[in-house]
Amino acid sequence: VCKEWTQELKTMAGFQEPPIKKAKNDRSVDLNANTSQAPTQPSPSQAANGHLKARDSSASFQNLKHKNPHKRSPQKAKNPEHLRNLLSQRHALPIFPARARLLEEFKKHQTVIVIGETGSGKTTQIPQYIHEERLDRKGGICITQPRRVAAISIAKRVAEEMDTNLGGLVGYSVRFEEAVCPATKVKYVTDGMLLREAISDPLLSKYSWILLDEAHERTINTDVLFGIVKDAQKTRRSTPGQDPLRLLIMSATMDVDHFQPGRQHPIEMFYAKKQQEDYVMATMTTVFQIHREAPPRHDILLFLTGQEEIDSVTANLRQIAKDGSLAECPRLRVLPMYAALPAHQQLDVFRPTAEGERKVIVSTNIAETSITIPGIRFVIDCGRAKVRTYHPGSGFDALKVRKISQAQAWQRTGRAGREASGNCYRAYTRAEFDAMDVNPTPEILRSNLSSVMLQLLAMGIKNVVTFDFIDKPSAEHLEAAMVQLTFLGAVVIKSDCLELTEAGRKMAQFPLEPRYAKVILSGPEHGCTDEVLSIISMLSSESIFVNPAGKKEQAAIARRKFTSVEGDHITLLKVFRAFKAAKKNKMWCHENFLNFRNLMYATEVRKQLVQVCERCGVALTSCQQKTDSVRRCLATGLFTSVAELQLDGKYLTLDTKQEAALHPTSALFGGKPAYVLFTELVLTGKAYMHLNSIVDPQWLHDIAPEYFRKKHVKR
């Protein structure tokens, strides 16, 4: 039973009393969805009147036992105890009593919106319900997730619940990695993957069910998919002989004013007493304050912003945990969690905490809604997240650490009260909280639209401007995307309409931003497809270099072997070549302070990109040691990301004349080349150029004469 939010608190250093938050005194197990419309406001006309309050517990689960052709092989059979346990967990989920009612709505309506709190069972259960009722006989069920970790971890969980092998009846497909077979019926995919599938099959004819999950997140891909699936549904409805396409929009409740009753236990709130200068330090201190007092197995979830920050905090926490003064405390297991983490490491966080142990998960906003980690009793929220923001004026994406919205703050808080009462520490003041935006801005309104636009065009959607977006991007954004695609030679404007070029059609085949696809397509012309493929694969992975806390010096020395005077791209290439020469040896990586997993991941990515090249007829040429052609080739796609050295020794980006500095980790740091090509501009206080190469102004004129003439670049 939920009690009122208590005001009586242990006072922890630096934190003050919470505001009074009331949770309803009602612990019903309903899927709490008394709206007929998701907060995202998809067309209600097609939506079922989704009052999913039905308390219908008559749902029979006999179907669960139907014959499954993908049963585990005997030696892998689960113990029956474990299976029974899983089944009783399933029955205890808030969604379970609504099972029959949900299925009834699904049969009645072609589009249904399901809203329910995080953890109620939407993602894992609904596909199973549909499958158990055999509503997937004619075509499979495809569930989209904004994030790859979620797709993989949930598919794994569902395969376990259904007692089948992953990649059989239940599978997943994310960029550069999949586990599916022709018999897969329940498939978890990233929204980007489904978008890609829609390019070659706009009617999505493989599927009977499309479940657009986490719709409240409003990722670009989900937003665009919404328009596409609606279209496919209409076409299939009006085409005789076509199986209808059923659409479920699933969303977490994002109600800022109250927690949903049901599975939410009371949570004590703590705010920082005063504004924190160093939020990372504040959160780390709090971890140990909690660690000293709380019983073992009361796990901590710490929200920080990005990979670098998380890796360094993880290393620090591990280091401090060894301190003698903590000898009496439970063993501390510190685990990072972010999208770029290799899958097996991501799955580590789901492993239950052992007796006498405590888990601390240091995560990005990935743990906000799309994944549920068991055992969390404490949430520490830094109040920030790294978001990709696009500036239409400047033409580049920037990863920016931004204050989160109130809705996100409450989502984070909610993670502490999933299984029992919990505590949430906000490393910001109440006043700072009040000043936050109420809801996050949809991604489509703050991103580079060139990928989306290219994909829409490839799908045959001619007039992108009139496309059925949920929130239409500004004319300025659309214009900027059009300009970029034109510069890349992906589109031409013919009688006021955008038309895809042959190159553009090929670019759309690559699971990459158009500018990177362009670089690969330019490979044969510069004789270096092989090299740019390696570099781009490494850019798709994260953090090849390892920088352990106490060994920064040695790491720097090890890195020097690979450092190229030409810049970071050639440095990456040298690493990749050396890795291959060392026969992809793990020990070698360790000795050289390189991340073995990430290098293996890059190898996988490369393999897949090679396949796309073969499909598109891109010759796999190699330039061996003539690495200036590689830089030249990179510039064919990244030429709008160039900065020029000024007389005062500072750099200005050519595109918007913004001041930017070489990042201290760059191979070019300390030197002053006249023109540098950067991969990413990251605004963290100051604008830093990441992953840079020296470029020759003459090349720039050769690549995009008009553009660089306007920018007054001297040859």
- Which residues contact ligand CDP by CB under 6 A? 93, 116, 118-125, 153-154, 157, 350, 372, 374
539 binds, among Mg ion, ligand CDP, none (CB under 5 to 8 A by kind): none
- Rounded-to-integer distance, Cα 170 and Cα 235, Å: 28
Q: How far is the CB of 121 from Mg ion (least distance, A)?
A: 8
- Rounded-to-integer distance, Cα 498 and Cα 625, Å: 40
Element (H, E) at 332: strand 331-337
Q: Which is nearer to ligand CDP, 95 or 224 (CB)?
A: 95
Three-state SS at 449 = coil
The residue with tokens 């029959």 is: 100
Q: Cα separations (Å) of 634 from 447, 574, 672? A: 22, 16, 20
Other C-beta atoms lying within 10 Å of the C-beta of residue 248:
27
- Rounded-to-integer distance, Cα 363 and Cα 357, Å: 19
By CB under 5 A, the residues from 99 to 138 that bind Mg ion are 122-123
125 binds, among Mg ion, ligand CDP, none (CB under 5 to 8 A by kind): ligand CDP
692 binds, among ligand CDP, Mg ion, none (CB under 5 to 8 A by kind): none
* CB contact at 8 A, 242 and 236: yes
Q: Which is nearer to ligand CDP, 202 or 374 (CB)?
A: 374
40 binds, among ligand CDP, Mg ion, none (CB under 5 to 8 A by kind): none
Q: How far is the CB of 124 from ligand CDP (least distance, A)?
A: 3
Provide the CB-side half-sphere exposure for 149 (13 A, CA). 26
Element (H, E) at 194: helix 191-200
120 binds, among ligand CDP, Mg ion, none (CB under 5 to 8 A by kind): ligand CDP
Determine the size of the site formed for Mg ion (CB under 5 A): 2
Q: Which is nearer to ligand CDP, 162 or 481 (CB)?
A: 162
Q: Which is nearer to Mg ion, 120 or 509 (CB)?
A: 120
124 binds, among Mg ion, ligand CDP, none (CB under 5 to 8 A by kind): ligand CDP
692 near Mg ion, judged by CB under 5 A:
no
Residue 51 tokens, joined: 């009052």
First to last CA, the chain: 74
Q: Which is nearer to Mg ion, 123 or 406 (CB)?
A: 123
By CB under 5 A, the residues from 37 to 66 that bind Mg ion are none
| β-sheet with 299-303: strand ranges across | 15-16, 267-272, 422-426, 376-381, 299-303, 357-363, 331-337
Q: Which is nearer to Mg ion, 93 or 198 (CB)?
A: 93
Q: How far is the CB of 575 from Mg ion (least distance, A)?
A: 38
Q: Which is nearer to ligand CDP, 214 or 513 (CB)?
A: 214
List of E strands, 222-321: 246-252, 267-272, 299-303
Q: How far is the CB of 611 from ligand CDP (least distance, A)?
A: 30
- Rounded-to-integer distance, Cα 537 and Cα 532, Å: 8
* CB contact at 8 A, 346 and 153: yes
Q: How far is the CB of 122 from Mg ion (least distance, A)?
A: 5
- Rounded-to-integer distance, Cα 652 and Cα 654, Å: 6
153 binds, among ligand CDP, Mg ion, none (CB under 5 to 8 A by kind): ligand CDP
Phi–psi pair at 337, nearest 5 degrees: -150, 110
By CB under 5 A, the residues from 619 to 648 that bind Mg ion are none
Q: How far is the CB of 418 from Mg ion (least distance, A)?
A: 13
Other C-beta atoms lying within 10 Å of the C-beta of residue 400:
19
Q: Which is nearer to ligand CDP, 344 or 583 (CB)?
A: 344
Q: How far is the CB of 369 from Mg ion (least distance, A)?
A: 7
Q: Which is nearer to ligand CDP, 154 or 267 (CB)?
A: 154
* Total residue count of the chain as it appears in this document: 715
CA diameter of the chain: 77
Q: How far is the CB of 117 from ligand CDP (least distance, A)?
A: 7
Q: How far is the CB of 441 from ligand CDP (least distance, A)?
A: 22
* CB contact at 8 A, 575 and 602: no
- Rounded-to-integer distance, Cα 321 and Cα 292, Å: 11
Residue 87 tokens, joined: 């089944």
Q: How far is the CB of 83 from ligand CDP (least distance, A)?
A: 14
Provide the CB-side half-sphere exposure for 193 (13 A, CA). 21
Q: How far is the CB of 48 from Mg ion (least distance, A)?
A: 19
93 binds, among ligand CDP, Mg ion, none (CB under 5 to 8 A by kind): ligand CDP
Q: Which is nearer to ligand CDP, 59 or 610 (CB)?
A: 59
- Rounded-to-integer distance, Cα 634 and Cα 536, Å: 9
Q: Which is nearer to ligand CDP, 118 or 413 (CB)?
A: 118
In the bound state, the residue with its beta carbon closest to Mg ion is 123
β-sheet bridge partners, residue 304: none
Site track for Mg ion across 64-103, x = CB under 5 A:
----------------------------------------
Where along the sequence are the contacts to Mg ion (CB under 5 A)? 122-123
